[in-house]
A and B are shown apart, each in its own frame.
Chain A
Amino acid sequence: MTIHGLWVISKAGGLVFSRSYSDVLPPQPVNTILTLAGILHGIHAITAKLTPAPIPGVPISGLESFEAEGWGGKVFLTPTGTKFVVLHSLPQAGLDDLLRRIYEIYSDAVMKNPFHTPEMPINSSLFETKLQTLMSSVNA
């Protein structure tokens, strides 16, 4: 039960933050992660379009998780369109809770920081330290 990494994808589909929290998955160059995040954004948009019977009034969420051999990913979409993607080992419990905690940290450390420009890469040391604390408590 490990969290391998976290991506934050902006409303427009750009990768604004990515960190690796374990060395299980092979490290990828930044450009590869950027491409992957863009593809994921696209797939998410397509799956949201494909929803056969959308419930009126409930936002369509699209792709929620994906699984591969030994690892998987969980997508969390905020009401403003920012996506948090957690890459994790299988099986993994408590992901919803974890993603909500990440969202909370994001709102505190990123959105309340006057030096952050929306839709731009996240450059907050506070965000990184808080995430690091959270991830090491989960990975422990």
Chain B
Amino acid sequence: MSQAVGYSTTPPSSSSRFSLQSITSSSSTTHTPNPPSLYGSSQNPSSSTINNANVNPNRRESARSSIIPSQQGSSSLQQQLFGSVGGGGGAGSASNQQQYLNILDRPLNKTKAFEVALSSWAFMFSEIVSYSQSRVDSVTDLEKRLSSLGYEVGQRILSLILLRNTQTSNLKDPKREHRLIPILQFVHTQIYKFIFGKPADGLERSSEAEDEYMLISNESPLTQFISVPKDMSDLSCEAFTAGLVEGVLDGLDLPARVTAHWVGDQYPDTPQRTVILIKLDGKVMDREEALGK
């Protein structure tokens, strides 16, 4: 207990992550003989051992924060962001550690069991849209804002996918597409599959212009719950996806202007059909011509 008091005198979370780890490592030694009054049910001796050993980390957390009340808010947030504190705290929770691995410590090429529920995404995207909406004056600006957010995502996803692809092929023959059509196919299959779990529903070349390509999706998981009010009917929240595609293409040195268009009114079977229109930069077309077939 004397050590626990010493810990309480440390300044509360100067640098979030590392101070927290030092807290947990010190607490793993001090906490095992926990003051029984901190646990509600530990009057019962048979349950108290269970409580100390592997009750979920929130219990430990709340027990600790009752010693230092000021820590509670920040530590629970850290817990969400950086995984379980109790996992770091040891105390026979190896399975917990596996389950709540710190997001920064996760292996980059492992995706199983780290998926995010679609609902959480939908709620977050909904908040993103309404946040952005409260800071713009027009539909065009809102689309621009969503698109620039997507651009950031696209750049990161590209790096991640290229890294994972290289790692799965055992660092042999690292591959990065450089020609137009393979790049577009890479976006159509690999990028879309990574984000949405399935490839895009179509990749077409515009019949009107040579430098325009279209990625078609009949129902995007990103925006499937959104219904745009009538007074903003030309808004497509798929602008986020468009920005994402633009980020990926830019990362592959394929500058383009990418926009999203809702065409569901022409397709009664798929009312949410959206076209991601890729208008390639002039220099890309010149380069393609120079490289030849």
Contacts and interface: CB of A to CB of B under 8 A. Distances in A.
Contacts of A124: 227
Interface stretch (B33-41, B108-116, B123-131, B192-200): B123-131
A66 interface: no
B226 A115 contact: yes
Contact of A115 (B127, B128, B229): B229
A4 B282 CA distance: 59
Contacts, number: 39
A129 B264 CA distance: 14
Contact of B226 (A114, A123, A129): A114
Contacts of A127: 227
Q: Is the interface of B mostly helix, strand, loop or mixed?
A: helix
B97 interface: no
A43 interface: no
- Counting contact residues on chain B (CB < 8 A from A), the size range is 10 to 19
Contacts of A86: none
Interface stretch (A8-16, A31-39, A75-83, A105-113): A105-113
B185 interface: no
A112 B225 contact: yes
A112 B227 contact: no
Interface in B60-107: none
Contact of B127 (A114, A123, A125, A126): A114
A110 to B, nearest CB: 9
Contacts of A109: 225, 227
26 contacts: A108-B122, A109-B227, A111-B123, A112-B119, A112-B122, A112-B123, A112-B126, A113-B225, A113-B227, A114-B125, A114-B126, A114-B127, A114-B128, A114-B130, A114-B133, A114-B226, A115-B129, A115-B226, A115-B227, A115-B232, A123-B229, A125-B227, A126-B225, A126-B226, A126-B227, A127-B227
Interface of A: 108-109, 111-115, 123-127, 129
